[in-house]
A and B are shown apart, each in its own frame.
Chain A
């Protein structure tokens, strides 16, 4: 494969922080709420520039979600910020009733998702959030791949009418999406076209998949690599068009296999053109403390795991 151009290294949460601050200037209806994690979510720039539109709610996430829903009455566009665990599992019923069922224009912005939260361990490493959010009617679910894309997605969701779950994380990772790229909700990015196997990934796993594609290229295997930044609505056309060529697929996500991107893709395949699929995801397990990339290796989310899965998918296809 031709080498992928990179533009330095940053964390996706900082992309959210920059995007939110930019939105503050662009759209006076944007308001932000945070549950005592302003620094962790990189919301300080917005808070400093627009103190009247920033709401510190304290360690009270249920109240934050309800307030955000209520703030839409009168035209505000609330962005809530806390860790992914406290953005979803802790407040599922508040999101379900007051935001999703009530069709409120709230943007749930969730950092420190997945294993790459690292040393804090399993209490904070949510691996079920994509599943919970994609099950909710009316909810859009977005998992951007790098700093630039997280910034672009943050800005884009303000123009989308309806509830959105935006998932990002903590580790510093390579930036490979161009800073002037246009983020389109529900439209997958084809990073590289290929003919032997399709790899569909989201979030930090897109970079891991780029590394895997390079390993596979060295073995003469041509990978079609898709950044599926929007889990819901899913770009079914991109999936079906790709497997029409490759007839086998690997999905990669920093999430439980149950309920995640892989299962969403599997449903599209099963309903249209069934083909061998390998799942790179956490297998029905909680995480644990450790360095982010050590955890990714231990739980089977490394580039070599994706490489092996791609070869297995190709073998199964025959």
Chain B
């Protein structure tokens, strides 16, 4: 996809997100909108994967884990739009008996999902495990994860960070959604993370930084990260984003972390997001 195609796909993904959460008056639009560009690039450009024949074992396929499972709307949208399941199924999000649970799960067999997430801090450990298995299987593909910045307050993340550096887990690219906000307010007010870059470096990781709303930056950073695979160090990308990106009244605040727009707000939001691939 060229830059314009990526942009138009991301616009549709954002429409999907606000429509999904608005329809059930619940869910997490803020972080989902902030990660829409990255997730679009990842699924449509970066990953080597097979959407039409989902395989739990992911042999010779790249694997993605959403560690901050509450931004499930953006994941469901890119999974559907890239062909894992029918786009029409997005209409079932958070409804009873749906495969699209509030937080991602495996028990309803939704193609594209290999691990439940929602309780924070677990995805990096899971990714390290899959990366280890890929090495045992002589499978050269890559394991990707996405984490919230607030999620880094969980201790398990740093257990995993120590393990990955100490054991040269170099087939893993972790990305941090660095939007500086969490449910209760700014991360710096709730529990400051200090210098994230220096923290990860001190833990022995190769640290890259990118603008999560600029496809050139996303492209060049992910290309660089892939080039670092197999060199003895895990790679983390600190991705600067704006929570609520694309919907003006959701930006610049933490208040849309887990609040759905009402009908009037939905209309306003959709007016700002071009329909490009057709709404579900």
B221 at the interface (CB under 8 A from A): no
User: How far does the Cβ of B160 sit from chain A's closest Cβ, in whole Å?
Assistant: 5
Closest to B132 in A: A71
B122 touches A94 (CB 8 A): yes
Query: Is B159 a contact partner of A71 (Cβ separation < 8 A)?
Result: no
Query: Assuming the A-B contacts A67-B128, A70-B125, are A57 and B116 also in contact, with contact meaning beta carbons closer than 8 angstroms in the complex?
Result: no
23 A-B pairs with CB atoms under 8 Å apart are: A31-B133, A52-B136, A55-B132, A57-B163, A60-B162, A63-B156, A66-B123, A69-B126, A70-B125, A70-B126, A70-B128, A70-B130, A71-B129, A73-B115, A73-B129, A74-B130, A74-B136, A74-B137, A75-B57, A78-B129, A96-B119, A98-B126, A101-B107
B127 interface contact, C-beta 8 A? yes
**Is A208 interfacial (CB-CB < 8 Å)?**
no
Chain B window 41-78, contacts with chain A (Cβ cutoff 8 Å), 1 for yes, 0 for no: 00000000000000011110001010000000000000
- The chain A residue sitting closest to B157, CB to CB, is A63
| A62 CB within 8 Å of chain B | yes
Closest approach, in angstroms, between the C-beta of A100 and any C-beta of chain B? 9
- B204 adjacent to chain A (CB < 8 Å): no
Find out whether the CB atom of B107 lies under 8 angstroms from the CB atom of A103: yes
A103, B125: Cβ atoms under 8 Å? no
Is the C-beta of A184 less than 8 angstroms from some C-beta in chain B? no
- The distance from the CB of A36 to the nearest CB of chain B, in whole angstroms, is 12
Verify A67–B105 contact, CB threshold 8 A.
no
Query: Contact: B122 with A98, CB < 8 Å?
Result: yes
Tell me the smallest distance from the CB of A243 to a CB of chain B, in Å.
35
Q: Pick the contact of A62: B58, B63, B105, B155 (CB < 8 A).
A: B155
Q: How many A residues, CB 8 Å from partner?
A: 32
Report if A312 contacts B (CB, 8 A): no
Q: Which of A63, A71, A94, A97 contacts B130 (CB 8 A)?
A: A71
Q: Are B122 and A97 in contact (CB under 8 A)?
A: yes
Taking Cβ atoms with an 8 Å cutoff, the residues of A that contact B are 31, 52-53, 55, 57-58, 60, 62-76, 78, 93-94, 96-98, 101-104
Q: Is the CB of A70 within 8 A of B115?
A: yes
CB distance from A223 to the nearest CB of B (A): 43
Given A74-B134, A94-B156, A97-B118, verify A68-B129 contact (CB < 8 Å).
Answer: yes
Separation of A70 and B116 alpha carbons in the complex (Å): 11
Known: A62-B121, A73-B129, A74-B136. 17 other contacts (CB 8 A): A55-B132, A58-B159, A58-B163, A63-B128, A65-B125, A66-B128, A70-B129, A70-B131, A71-B129, A71-B132, A72-B129, A73-B57, A74-B58, A75-B133, A101-B106, A102-B105, A103-B106
* Least CB distance, B100 to chain A, in whole angstroms: 16
Q: Which residues of B contact A74 (CB under 8 A)?
A: 57-59, 130, 133-134, 136-137, 139
Partner pick for A73 among B56, B118, B125, CB 8 A cutoff: B56
B162/A101 in contact, CB under 8 A:
no
State whether A73 touches B130 (Cβ < 8 A): yes
Distance (whole angstroms) from the CB of A57 to the closest CB of chain B: 6
Residues of A within 8 A of B122 (CB): 62, 66, 94, 97-98
Decide yes or no whether B99 CB sits under 8 A from chain A: no
In the complex, what residues of B have CB within 8 A of residue A104's CB?
A: 115
A53 to B56, CA, bound (A): 21
A52 to B137 CA separation, bound complex (whole angstroms): 12
CA of A237 to CA of B138, assembled, Å:
47
Q: Closest CB-CB distance, B12 to chain A, in whole Å?
A: 29
Q: How far is the CA of A81 from the CA of B124 in the complex (A)?
A: 20
Specify which chain B residues have a CB less than 8 angstroms from the CB of A55 in the assembled complex. 132
Q: Are B156 and A62 in contact, with the CB atoms below 8 A?
A: yes
The 4 closest A-B pairs by CB, nearest first: A66-B125, A70-B129, A67-B129, A74-B133
Given contacts A60-B162, A62-B159, A67-B163, contact A73 B58 (CB under 8 A): yes
Complex Cα distance, B123 from A76, in Å, reads: 18
Q: Beta-carbon contacts of B136-169 to A below 8 Å, as 1s and 0s? A: 1101000000000000000110011011001000
How near does chain B come to A15, taking the closest CB pair, in angstroms?
26
Provide the bound-state CA to CA distance between A47 and B114, in Å: 29
Which residues of chain B are near A70, meaning CB under 8 Å? 65, 115, 125-133
Is A101's CB under 8 angstroms from B125's CB?
Answer: no
Contacts of B11 in A (CB 8 A): none
Assembled-state Cα–Cα distance A64/B167 (Å):
13
Write the nearest CB–CB distance from B65 to chain A, whole angstroms: 8
Decide yes or no: A67 and B106 within 8 Å by CB, A73-B56, A73-B57, A102-B115 being known contacts: no
When A62-B125, A66-B122, A97-B118 are in contact, do A71 and B163 touch as well, CB less than 8 Å?
no
Most buried by B among A60, A64, A78: A60
Q: Report which residue of A60, A70, A72 has the largest number of chain B beta carbons within 10 angstroms of its beta carbon.
A: A70
Q: Which residues of chain A are within 8 angstroms of B124 by Cβ–Cβ distance? A: 66
Q: Once bound together, how far apart are the Cα atoms of A93 and B114, in whole Å?
A: 18
- Measured in the bound complex, the distance between the Cα atoms of B133 and A57 in whole Å is 15
In contact, A69 and B115 (Cβ under 8 angstroms):
yes
